């Protein structure tokens, strides 16, 4: 068998489209041919996404009662055999086999596309704060994503002098006061931890100040502000 034939056989074995002789052949190859077994495992992994997208449902009590009732019924008499007819379009396994395989491929592509779209939407910033320096020029960005993750993006190379650090702050409530998000030796691209803070809101302040080594001794900004900006909804 060619590679294409073996791949088709493995795919249809996983989907359940094989007739009895081909099913027996596939099961024998799984036991005796490691390369074919690997093809089957690969198809199982590809099609496993379908199971992951389906919600799990437990059968209710009514369903179990109906099953038990049907089991207690006396067996019905077999109906008279239908007259034999020639092969029909609907019973043509040669037609439905590629149709089923094509449908499985289409579902797989759709599931992969939806997964990619969801991941892209989660990575896209929903809030952005453009931090300006003392001259009014953009010096840094804070991006807050839909899943709550945030990051600082440095637009200028700013380094703290010896014995000093850059400290990142955010302020969403003046009664609460500014909260430190960490210290840096120089401005660079880093993730920011906002896990213990309220969800970022429009007009929330972000700023970077110059502080003593180890950070502000008071828990509040004490040094000069190097850059600052407020958050707004991303376009």
- Integer Cα distance of 216 and 230 in angstroms: 22
pLDDT digits (tens, 9 = 90+) for 7-50: 888 888 888 878 888 889 989 998 998 888 888 887 777 666 55
- pLDDT level of residue 2 (50, 70, 90 thresholds): confident
pLDDT digits (tens, 9 = 90+) for 72-116: 766 666 566 666 665 555 555 555 566 666 666 665 555 554 444
CATH placement of domain 125-233? 2.60.40
- pTM score: 0.48
Sheet of 150-154, strand order: 179-184, 164-171, 205-212, 225-233, 125-132, 138-145, 150-154, 190-192
The DSSP string of 34-95 is HHHHHHHHHHHHHHHHHHHHSPP-PPPHHHHHHHHHHHHSPPPPPPPPPPP----STT-HHH
Residues of the chain with CATH 2.60.40: 125-233
């Amino acid at each position: 068998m060619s590679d294409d034939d073996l791949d088709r056989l493995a795919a249809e074995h996983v989907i359940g489209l094989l007739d009895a002789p081909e099913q027996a052949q596939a099961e024998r190859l799984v036991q005796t041919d490691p390369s074919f077994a690997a093809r089957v495992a690969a198809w199982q992994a590809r099609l496993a996404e379908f199971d992951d997208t389906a919600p799990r449902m437990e059968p209710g009590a009514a369903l179990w009662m109906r099953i038990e009732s049907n089991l207690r019924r006396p067996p019905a008499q077999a109906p008279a055999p239908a007259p034999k007819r020639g092969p029909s379009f609907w019973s043509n396994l040669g037609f439905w086999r590629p149709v089923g395989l094509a449908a499985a491929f289409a579902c797989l592509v759709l599931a992969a596309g939806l997964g990619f779209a969801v991941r892209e939407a989660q990575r896209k910033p929903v809030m952005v704060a453009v931090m300006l320096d003392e001259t009014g020029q953009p010096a840094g960005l804070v991006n807050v994503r839909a899943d709550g993750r945030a990051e600082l993006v440095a637009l200028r190379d700013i380094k703290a002098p010896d014995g000093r650090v850059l400290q990142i702050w955010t302020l969403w409530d003046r009664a609460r006061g500014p909260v430190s998000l960490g210290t840096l030796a120089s401005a660079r691209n880093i993730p920011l931890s906002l896990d213990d803070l309220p969800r970022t809101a429009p007009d929330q302040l972000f700023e970077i100040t110059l502080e003593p080594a180890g950070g502000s001794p008071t828990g509040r900004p004490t040094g000069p502000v190097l850059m600052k900006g407020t958050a707004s909804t991303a376009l």
